[in-house]
Amino acid sequence: MRAVRATALIVGMLLAAGALGLAQRARIDATALVDDLRQLSADAMEGRRVGTAGGARARALLVDRFRAAGLRPFAGTFEQPFRGATGVAGVNVVGYVPGRVRPDRYLVIGAHYDHLGIRDGRVFNGANDNASGAAALAVLAAYFVQHRPATSLVFAAFDGEEAGLVGSRAFVARPPVPRAAILIALNMDMIGRDPANTLWVVGTHQQPALVPLVDQAAARASVVLRRGYDNPADGRSRDWTRDSDHWAFLEAGLPALYFGVEDFALHHDPDDDFDRMTLDFYVRAVESMVDVVEVMDAGAGTLERLTPARPRAR
């Protein structure tokens, strides 16, 4: 009897310790994250194609989340409309957290929220691509409003990525902050599933000065942050340098990194659905983005030196 009680007590203590450990590690609101992923990838969003009612519905959700998180808008609004060179019109959702120490320097955290819409009567829900990144923006914003960074953070949900990086190119063409004050852009696109617990970090081949920062983040992260998929010598399909919104920054001469999972058989498939995601991994991937942002924030001096010709922003 006593032995049983003692065992029960020890088990109880271990469970409590485990729960405490989890509470200490859990920095983002995982419940809100998964719920937003579910909502953004629901049929009601009609595949979130740029310029559609479904896209506007997804945008309204993100505006609501940015406001609730306590992000600040630029010029009184979170919505930044654009029209691209090809005539594609959309709306980016953008807000910021002012930095405590370097308010005039910015890290851009971005993810596109648009997807392919409805084709032949089938809704392309794009749960991985890229409801996963868009939902991550909202919880990361909430985290960093509560844990203010030294450097200012701009959160940008880009529209029109699937139409040719239209929203991110519009953002870079007319950024809400001085372009020279952007230290780096961190792009999340397809972070919702991976059976091997691995999130690829793309861009250090061309930007080797970022390797120490990425490796610092990797040492802290709860997913495997692995550098790669950025060597042109490996061929177009194994070089993701131009595959998403990070390219809009890189092509303009701004540092950028891309975070995304290994190729997925349901990429641009109507079955890229919420129930195909690996939610444990997804939560850990977003937790790991907290590590990435914190390391980049602490490494702002390194980032500042990446572009020696950078004009003073002040």
Degrees to nearest 5, angle at CA 288 with 177 and 202: 65
d(CA 237, CA 249): 20
Binding to Zn ion by residue 159, rule CB under 5 A? no
Binding piece for Zn ion, criterion CB under 5 A, among 14-22, 127-135, 201-209, 296-304: 127-135
- 134/254 with CB nearer Zn ion: 134
Helix/strand/coil (H/E/C) assignment for every residue in 66-106: HHHHCCECECCECEEEEECCCCCEEEEEEEEECCCCEEEEE
Please report how close the Cβ of residue 129 comes to Zn ion at its closest, in angstroms: 4
- 213/285 with CB nearer Zn ion: 285
Q: Cβ(199)–Cβ(270) under 8 Å?
A: no
Site for Zn ion in 135-154 (CB under 5 A): none
Please report how close the Cβ of residue 121 comes to Zn ion at its closest, in angstroms: 22
Residue 189: name the closest of 141, 240, 145 by CA.
240
Degrees to nearest 5, angle at CA 115 with 114 and 119: 140
Contact characters 176-205, Zn ion, x per CB under 5 A: -------------x----------------
Residue 183: name the closest of 141, 219, 154 by CA.
154
- 97/257 with CB nearer Zn ion: 257
- 165/183 with CB nearer Zn ion: 165
Please report how close the Cβ of residue 244 comes to Zn ion at its closest, in angstroms: 5
Angstrom CA distances, 103 to 20, 46, 151, 152, 173, stand at: 34, 38, 6, 5, 21
- 92/130 with CB nearer Zn ion: 130
Binding to Zn ion by residue 129, rule CB under 5 A? yes
Q: Which of 130, 132, 151, 288 binds Zn ion (CB under 5 A)?
A: 130
- 71/163 with CB nearer Zn ion: 163
- Reading the block at residue 24, the tokens are 């200490």
Contact residues for Zn ion, defined by CB under 5 A: 129-130, 189
